Chains A and B, each alone.
Chain A
Amino acid sequence: MSGLDLGFDADLGPLWPYLFVLAAGFLATEVWRWAGVAFGGGLPEDSPLIGWVRAVATALVAGVVAKLILEPSGTLAETPALLRVAAAAAGLAAYLALRRNLLVGVAAAEAVLLGGWLLVG
């Protein structure tokens, strides 16, 4: 790697992973809370900027969900990708069809994942 490899796994001492989390995790989130305190109530909730920010945040978290389904790590990676996609789709369908119950949706996704896994072997 190059001299300026600032990845999580960079060889920069035992404290580096924690510094990485503090910088990329704590500071990156806390600044928005502090900004919220600074702006107080003077922030219009329906401004186009806030609308755009919400859309980007939603797409970003949806992107993480897609990655967790398509490229998981650990034992989950042993399942066929198609099974994981089917399980997620089943969860979504069950949630929308059955009274929008969160528990039903999550349980349906898990049931299809585990049931399908048993069938696939």
Chain B
Amino acid sequence: MPLGSERRIRAAMETPLPAPAMTRRAAILSGARAAIGVPGLVLFASMTGFGGLVREAGLDLSIGLVMTGVIWALPSQVVLAGSIVGGASLFAAAAAVTLSAVRLMPMTAAIVPRLRGEGTSRRTLGALSHFVAVTPWVIGMAELPRLPRAVRPVWFAALGATLTLSNLAATALGYWSAAALPGRLAAALVFLTPAYFLVSMAGAARTTTDRLALALGLAATPLAGVLGLGPDLIWGGLVGGTVAFLVGRRGRRG
């Protein structure tokens, strides 16, 4: 084999390739541009549904905007809105939200090695980690390895800030739409959230445990509500999830 082609093959196998230098300004623009695409559009549409949900739940727009800004994880936002509507105490609401958000830990742990520039402080990483949610995570995990290390933190900050701003706008748009639209269309806007979550969770469910957790969560939570066991979300999540986990493990062993 000629030496040249061998070198080319080896170069093609060694991903990521050494990235060319990039200015800070170019990194900011690139990060902002990465927010525009199919994942960004899906998030925007879902966040519009959340805005409608906030309005139909009788909550203030400002509350919806604060939720989008500070929580920045749609499932946890929906869990909190649902807990508030259900009249949950602070502790029950915080417990339900925190259980829905544990997945952010392994996601953050996975992206930090790709995100870190040379000498990025832990404090900076802690601040940047606020932007970790499914959409920026998927975009970041794919794009970060292609970027020079030095500009990765600023690129991710630009991505996260752009997505946050556009989704604050989406929250407001959904809220106002629910107010302005005829009743049935407003209701259809609110129905986007459960329809979207149900379908995307079914799509993400690959193992027996995933599918069982989805089915048991759907069934156990209303059951806990009917039985009057107290915070139905926590009961449904803990019991449904634990049973799904145990059954899934037994299935894999046996």
Contacts and interface: CB of A to CB of B under 8 A. Distances in A.
A66 interface: yes
**3 closest Cβ contacts across the A-B interface?**
A36-B108, A74-B56, A62-B217
B88 interface: yes
Contacts of A62: 201, 213-218, 221, 236, 240
Given A32-B103, A55-B244, A58-B244, 7 more contacts: A29-B76, A51-B245, A59-B241, A60-B236, A63-B240, A91-B199, A95-B203
Contacts of B122: 37
Interface of A: 5-9, 17-18, 20-37, 39-43, 45, 48, 50-76, 78-79, 84, 87-88, 91-92, 95-96, 100, 102, 105-106, 109-110, 113-114, 117
Interface of B: 42, 53, 55-58, 60, 62-63, 66-67, 70-73, 75-80, 82-91, 93-110, 112-113, 122, 125-126, 129-130, 132, 178, 183-184, 186-188, 190-203, 205, 209-210, 212-222, 225, 232-234, 236-242, 244-245, 248-249
Contacts of B240: 56, 59, 62-63
Contacts of B96: 60
A13 B214 CA distance: 39
Contacts of A21: 63, 66-67, 70-71, 80
Contact of A36 (B80, B95, B105, B219): B105
Given A25-B70, A59-B214, A63-B232, A75 B187 contact: yes
Contacts, number: 320
Contacts of A33: 104-105, 108, 126, 129-130, 132
